[in-house]
Structure formats: C-alpha cells, structure tokens
Homo-oligomer: A and B are copies of this chain.
Amino acid sequence: MNKKIKVGIVGHGNLGRGVEMAISHTNDMELAAVFTRRNPDSLTPLTKNVPVYSVNDILNFKDKLDVLILCGGSATDLPKQGPELSRHFNTVDSFDTHAKIPEYFDAVDASSKGAGKVGIISVGWDPGLFSIQRALFGAVLPTGKDYTFWGKGVSQGHSDAIRRIEGVKDAKQYTVPVASAIEGARSGENPELTTREKHTRECFVVAEEGADLARIENEIKTMPNYFADYDTTVNFISEEELKRDHAGIPHGGFVIRSGKSGFDSETNHVLEFSLKLESNPEFTSSVLVAYARAAVKLNTEGVSGAKTVLDIPLSYLSEKDGATLRKELV
C-alpha cells in the first residue's frame, strides 16, 4: 500500500474545518497537523488525534508534510503566507481577489520555483471550477459570450458591510441571480446585461433596540460598490429568526456560454455549468483537497512553480490512476 499524503492545514476557520471534513472523504490523504496564529492549546481540530502547532514553528515540519492547504483570507493572510510558505512547502490556496491574481501568481511563482515546490493558487469555485469552465467554453467556441451569475447564496463581504452600520446588531446578505437574465444568457441572443439586471441583493438585518430602521435601510441601499448599483431589499428580523432561518452558508452560481459555429456563425450552442451548494466553505475545501493531491503528484514528477487550475490536467485531481479513469469516466 502506498503511503498516504500528509496534509497540513494553516488557519482553522470555516475553510480549515471544511478541509478536515474533505480529507475524511479520501482514501489517500491524512491530516497530519493544524497550524494556527492563536495559542495552539485554544484549538481542538474536529479530527481525532491531530496535533496543533503555532504557525511560527511551521518550518520545523518542512520534511514531515507533503502539502500545506492555506485556509487564510485573501485580503491580508494569503498575500503574505502564500509567498512565504511556498518557499518551503507545496501549497494550495483559495486566493480570490480576481484583480490581483496575476501579481499573486508571480509572487508565489518566484518563491516556489526557486525552492522546487508547487504552489497552486486561486482554487475553489470562483476562481476555480468557474475558471475551468470559462477557459474550456471559450476554447471550444471562440466566437461567443460568457455570462457568470452568482447565487442564490450568502456573501460574507456584503453581510460584513451591513454589520458595520451603526445600529445593526447582525445581518446576512443573499446575492440572488435574476431568473430572466439567466434565461437571456441561455437564449443564444447574447444580450448585454447590466449589473442591476443580473443580480438582486436580499438583506436580513437584526437592529439594535431603538435603532432608526429607516436610516439603516437607506444606508444599506445607497452604499457605494456594495449595494447602490443593485435592486436591494432590506428585511428587519429578530435575532431568533436570523439564527433559525439564516444560519447556513449556502451558495451557487452559473457559467453560461452562448457560442456560434459555422462559417457565418449561424449555428448556436449553449454550454452551461452550475453549482448548488449547501455549504460554500465545505465545498471550497473539497476542491482545495483535490488540488492538494495534484500539487503532490506534480511535485513528485519534478514540477515546480506557481500553477492555477488551468495548468493542471484533470487526471491529477483523482485518486484513480489513468487506466481506471479511461475505463470508468472517459
């Protein structure tokens, strides 16, 4: 029997816990250690008998782990951790600030290539599975138009933005794709869709006692970048209702390409990929774990440097070998 792939988790929020769960669905991987910036004694992994260490001691584990899954955030954690840790370990992360991906790629590439390690960045569903579909769809039907829709699902960033408003105790925001816009994308007529036409925003807000609800609602609806460009509805509910009805972190989305073939582009085709997720972090973690396997396989073959999901053959994600995949899945 082959030795199992030894995984280290860096950061133990929703994503780190999801990685623990995802590893339990594999036969070829095991969780070897969890690293945290907090006091290691304050944290108990969900998996039995897994040690917790301070991230400050992580270099002691250079030869003991096959891959690190970086479960920090894209704003401040990953821009620092990605380049630092990929100098010593194979790494996988879910860096999702789209505009900064080229710059982040270059930083991880420089550190990992010199060290002979593989750093797979921006893994998850968008970026991630959606990137794969956009690349595939565009390559097979170069004449056409892509549409990406998100939701229905919880946007953590938008929920946080509402919570920062004075008088708000707690809040949850759902991004909702507009059904008629999705139908338009599928129609083959390549409509131009504005931001407002593609998504609406639904807010569930728990206000402090005595707070001015009209002011809160107005502050939400007029907030630049987050809400002003959308049709937004605000529902004030009790703390109990928020806990009872909005505890989950569901999400989902669609990538639709309406493309053409024929000399005069007279033949229409519609390609569509969609996700419906009961737990956004658990699913993102499942994708991270599959790419952690790929990082180890690639590195074992002598590959090094930064990679995205577009650089990696799908066969590397699977526990199964090439012959089995050809027999069962091709």
Contact = CB atoms under 8 A, between A and B. Distances in A.
A9 B135 CA distance: 25
Nearest to A134: B329
Copies in the complex: 2
Interface string A292-330: 010000000000000011111111011100110111011
Given A308-B326, A326-B308, A277 B286 contact: no
Interface in A9-43: 18, 21-22, 24-26
In this complex, the member of A46, A131, A133, A286 whose beta carbon has the largest number of chain B beta carbons within 10 angstroms is A286
A45 B269 CA distance: 24
A5 interface: no
Interface string A84-100: 00000000000000100
A47 B312 CA distance: 35
A314 B310 contact: yes
Give the size range of A's interface with the partner.
Answer: 35 or more
Interface in A83-129: 98, 101-102, 105, 122, 127, 129
A138 interface: yes
A214 interface: no
A196 to B, nearest CB: 24
In this complex, the member of A127, A276, A287 whose beta carbon has the largest number of chain B beta carbons within 10 angstroms is A276
A143 interface: yes
Interface stretch (A59-67, A162-170, A221-229, A259-267): A259-267
A140 interface: yes
Contact of A135 (B275, B279, B314): B314
A272 interface: yes
A136 B310 CA distance: 12
A40 to B, nearest CB: 22
26 contacts: A18-B261, A21-B263, A25-B143, A25-B265, A101-B326, A102-B327, A129-B136, A134-B329, A135-B318, A136-B314, A139-B290, A141-B283, A142-B319, A261-B279, A261-B282, A262-B282, A267-B282, A269-B275, A270-B275, A270-B276, A273-B273, A310-B314, A310-B315, A310-B326, A311-B315, A311-B322
